[in-house]
Structure 1
Amino acid sequence: MTHVSLPRTAGRATLAASAAALLAFGLAAPAAADPAEVYEGSVRARYVDNAQNGETVTVNGSSVGTSLFNLELEDGTVLTTYCIDLETDIIGGAWYREDKWENYPGKGDFAAPGKVHWILQNSYPTVSAADLGQAAGLGRRASEAEALAATQAAIWHFTNGATLGRAPGNTTRIYDHLVESAEELPQEPGATLGITPETASGSAGETVGEFTVETSATAIEVDLEAPEGVTLVDIETGESVETVESGDTVGFAVPAGTAAGEASFSLEATATVATGRLFKGESDEPTQTLITAQGGETTVSASASATWEEGGETTPPTEEPSEEPTEEPSGEPGEPEAPAPSPSDEPSETPSAPADDSNQPTLPVTGGALAGLVAAGIAALGAGGGAIYLSRKRKAAASESLEG
């Protein structure tokens, strides 16, 4: 397998040709998705050329060139990077995006990223070739080409399980020193600036979204775009926030009854792209995954947004209750009001015997009144029967006189 290790002028020529080809293709092809909408992270960079070339070495039985690669950020800042994917070639002019170690997309396990991080902090170019040679116990100075080749081979040892074979000069001695001395550094260097996730949705009456900020900067001012009444709050405290730092988790507080809508917040800061940050290619076409050997300061930005549906509103009653109470409650509880006496309730000539239980309520109809009602009913029934009898008798007499 041959890696692309372009000299500076060749790299720039390749970049120019790639840009021209992309421009010509873009005139006829539909617009591609914005990489910022596809990849997590906020720092984008393009491989422009090689910063420096090292010795050619034999790795896993194949002859491989070693190089430091230049990644140019969108603001012009240039980062120096090593390859962490031995099995994939680099594409001239390829665009990259900063990302997490866990999202390593290359061929190989990237099995011990902590040890790779240690190597980056304790080898070339962070440590000079002379100091690295001394640390390796060499009796004479090591060249930069040897130090670079040894560093790259040691990185491949931990990312791809590669073994260094034949190598010129002091390369093998420096390589052995790095592999044997490497320690686990589990703490991944902080992101330059990123917000996870980039979008969220919910309903009015709740806090919409749970956005986590990761950054190497501090106290970044929040630029909020939201309808009136909607604020950005700290998820833990519920308090409104105007600045954020790495590890903060925020969301949009949307009051109940707010109409369906959306809001967003953006961050911009000057931050450091740390040594040990992973950069992966944006294109579907595979290109080497890179890791920063020397970082740099850059101006970065990131944003996140949320949408919500109307909800959480309590609808007030539109009408008063249709049934009003028919009576006012009595003054004293437990004492029912006695009904007014009716005409039939006049006392009879013979007073009735007193009731056995004086605590029982008075009956609405007395015994004497009931007897009078029964007698009246019988008299009415007799009068009705007599009237019917007389009526029939008259009809029969009339019929007899007509026949005579």
Structure 2
Amino acid sequence: MTNSSFPRTVGRAGLAASAAAFLAFGLAAPAAADPVETYEGSVRGQYVGNAENGTSVKVGGENTRTSLFNLELEDGTVLTTYCIDFRTRIISDAWYREDKWENYPGKGDFAEPGKVHWILQNSYPALSAEELGAAAGVEGLSAEDALGGTQAAIWHFSNDMALDGDNNAAVTGVYEYLIGEAKDLPQTSEPDAALSITPGTASGTAGETVGEFTVETNAAEIPVVLDAPGGVTLVDIETGESVETVESGDTVGFAVPAGTAAGEASFSLETTATVATGRLFKGESDEPTQTLITAQGGQTTVSASASATWEEGGETTPPTDEPSEPSEEPSEPEAPAPSPSDEPSETPSAPADDSNQPTLPVTGGALAGLVAAGIAALGAGGGAIYLSRKRKAASTEGLEG
């Protein structure tokens, strides 16, 4: 009689244990978090060519053209802008979105935005060439030289670029005047957004206020257009009161009553607002394009929206015939008395009826413990079967002898 049963038994036990272990680790793996949108800029525009060209300047050993760029917004309003990203070229027909100074994506550092903002307010085209020439002490200043000197001064503070010594006297005079007089306006001097909502999306659970959306705008009260299931309202985060209009600085969220089915809601805003001088516009595409900053703003119709989703709260457990979980730890059962016989039984005893015992969910460390216990039980069972068959074989051989 062969003993091949034991290796096969042990092999099956190991396979079962491995499968259980892999299953355990699979159940314990956390789901990856979805990325969350953090900023919803509302004003979009497209680069549609140059408004005017200035005198070429020599910066960092390179002759570089200077221009004011046309940025056409979605409602047809055209803004004029300067470049604040010396090391990145502009892409034809690139789309841009209004954004915050802190989100400047250029290759060069936007090191002193406060001084750039001062220059925009005190140079060309905010001032005429004649006015800028008088301030800078440059007689007969042309628009081309005013533009070239202004752009060079902006690059000095946005990208740490210095004007070389062999530029024409008018451009050099404007450049030196602007960098010498520029004041580092505080970060709070950044002009307000025409309209934005931060963030653009949120998620939560019924029975709570979902989302915390901050409105930024330079417009007055803006009516709210709500798209939500019955019972869901838009409320002020601080007071909890429902809102029908919002202003700059307001923070709102969706009040979702407990028991509301999983769903979604959104709100939108639309108004006429000003895109001010000094607002940053960055490219929407993954392909880098020059970052622009408004030299002359304008009024435009703007809109923004935000949305939220929620899961149903207070999950209920389906009714069962099993008794509820006991509030106290069950007492340890007494160990059974050992059998008087040393011979293991060939017929395993019937398992105790545990159908009425309460069960608990198995997760994490508890699941790992059960897997380990299962492996130990399989090993013990395999050993018992092996000993039983060996003794039976020995008994049979004794009878045959």
User: Do both proteins adopt the same fold according to a TM-score greater than 0.5, normalized to the shorter chain?
Assistant: yes
Shift of residue 39 of structure 1? 6.9
- Alignment partner, residue 129 of structure 1: 129
What is the rounded CA distance, in whole Å, between the counterparts of 2:289 and 2:46 in structure 1? 12
Specify the SS of the correspondent of 1:55.
Answer: strand
Q: CA 1:252–1:305 in 2, change beyond 3 Å: closer, same or farther?
A: same
Which among 187, 193, 196 is matched to residue 194 of structure 1? 196
What is the rounded CA distance, in whole Å, between the counterparts of 2:310 and 2:94 in structure 1? 38
Shift of residue 314 of structure 1? 9.4
Specify the SS of the correspondent of 1:170.
Answer: helix
What is the rounded CA distance, in whole Å, between the counterparts of 1:157 and 1:81 in structure 2? 17
| Alignment length (residue pairs) | 279
**1:5-404 paired onto structure 2 within 5 Å:** 40-138=40-138, 140-165=139-164, 166-186=166-186, 187-312=189-314
Question: Structure 1: which amino acid aligns with 2:215?
Answer: V
Shift of residue 249 of structure 1? 0.3
8 Å CA contact 1:90, 1:287 repeated in 2 = yes
- Alignment partner, residue 342 of structure 2: none
What is the rounded CA distance, in whole Å, between the counterparts of 1:152 and 1:62 in structure 2? 14
8 Å CA contact 1:230, 1:255 repeated in 2 = yes
8 Å CA contact 1:200, 1:307 repeated in 2 = yes
Shift of residue 129 of structure 1? 0.9
Shift of residue 192 of structure 1? 1.1
Question: Structure 2: which amino acid aligns with 1:157?
Answer: H
Specify the SS of the correspondent of 1:155.
Answer: helix
8 Å CA contact 1:156, 1:162 repeated in 2 = yes
What is the rounded CA distance, in whole Å, between the counterparts of 1:123 and 1:213 in structure 2? 32
Shift of residue 141 of structure 1? 2.4
Describe the superposition over 1:109-132 as per-residue Cα deviations: whole angstroms up to 9, x where unpaired: 100001100000110000111111
- Alignment partner, residue 16 of structure 1: none
8 Å CA contact 2:38, 2:198 repeated in 1 = no
Describe the superposition over 1:276-333 as per-residue Cα deviations: whole angstroms up to 9, x where unpaired: 1111111111111110000111111110011111115899x9xxxxxxxxxxxxxxxx
What is the rounded CA distance, in whole Å, between the counterparts of 1:230 and 1:39 in structure 2? 24
8 Å CA contact 2:40, 2:304 repeated in 1 = no
Structure 2: state its 5+ residue gaps: 1-36, 320-401
What is the rounded CA distance, in whole Å, between the counterparts of 1:240 and 1:313 in structure 2? 27
Shift of residue 169 of structure 1? 3.7
Identity %: 76
Describe the superposition over 1:120-155 as per-residue Cα deviations: whole angstroms up to 9, x where unpaired: 0110000111111111123x2211111101110000
Structure index of larger Rg? 1
8 Å CA contact 1:146, 1:169 repeated in 2 = no
8 Å CA contact 1:50, 1:69 repeated in 2 = yes
Describe the superposition over 1:189-234 as per-residue Cα deviations: whole angstroms up to 9, x where unpaired: 1111111111111111111000001111110000001111111010
8 Å CA contact 1:39, 1:97 repeated in 2 = no
What is the rounded CA distance, in whole Å, between the counterparts of 2:117 and 2:129 in structure 1? 18
- Alignment partner, residue 400 of structure 1: none
Shift of residue 38 of structure 1? 9.7
Specify the SS of the correspondent of 1:149.
Answer: helix
Q: CA 1:156–1:287 in 2, change beyond 3 Å: closer, same or farther?
A: same
Q: CA 1:243–1:39 in 2, change beyond 3 Å: closer, same or farther?
A: closer
8 Å CA contact 2:229, 2:265 repeated in 1 = yes
Q: CA 1:295–1:184 in 2, change beyond 3 Å: closer, same or farther?
A: same
Question: Structure 2: which amino acid aligns with 1:66?
Answer: T
8 Å CA contact 2:123, 2:132 repeated in 1 = yes
Question: Structure 1: which amino acid aligns with 2:65?
Answer: G
Specify the SS of the correspondent of 1:54.
Answer: strand
Q: CA 1:40–1:224 in 2, change beyond 3 Å: closer, same or farther?
A: closer
8 Å CA contact 2:39, 2:199 repeated in 1 = no
8 Å CA contact 2:260, 2:312 repeated in 1 = yes
| Larger relative contact order (CA 8 Å, sep ≥ 6) | 2
Specify the SS of the correspondent of 2:40.
Answer: coil
- Structure 1 consecutive aligned stretches of length 4 or more whose deviation exceeds 4 Å: 312-315
What is the rounded CA distance, in whole Å, between the counterparts of 2:233 and 2:38 in structure 1? 27
What is the rounded CA distance, in whole Å, between the counterparts of 1:53 and 1:154 in structure 2? 16
What is the rounded CA distance, in whole Å, between the counterparts of 2:55 and 2:204 in structure 1? 57
Q: CA 1:232–1:40 in 2, change beyond 3 Å: closer, same or farther?
A: closer
What is the rounded CA distance, in whole Å, between the counterparts of 1:253 and 1:313 in structure 2? 19
- Alignment partner, residue 398 of structure 2: none
TM-score (norm 1): 0.67
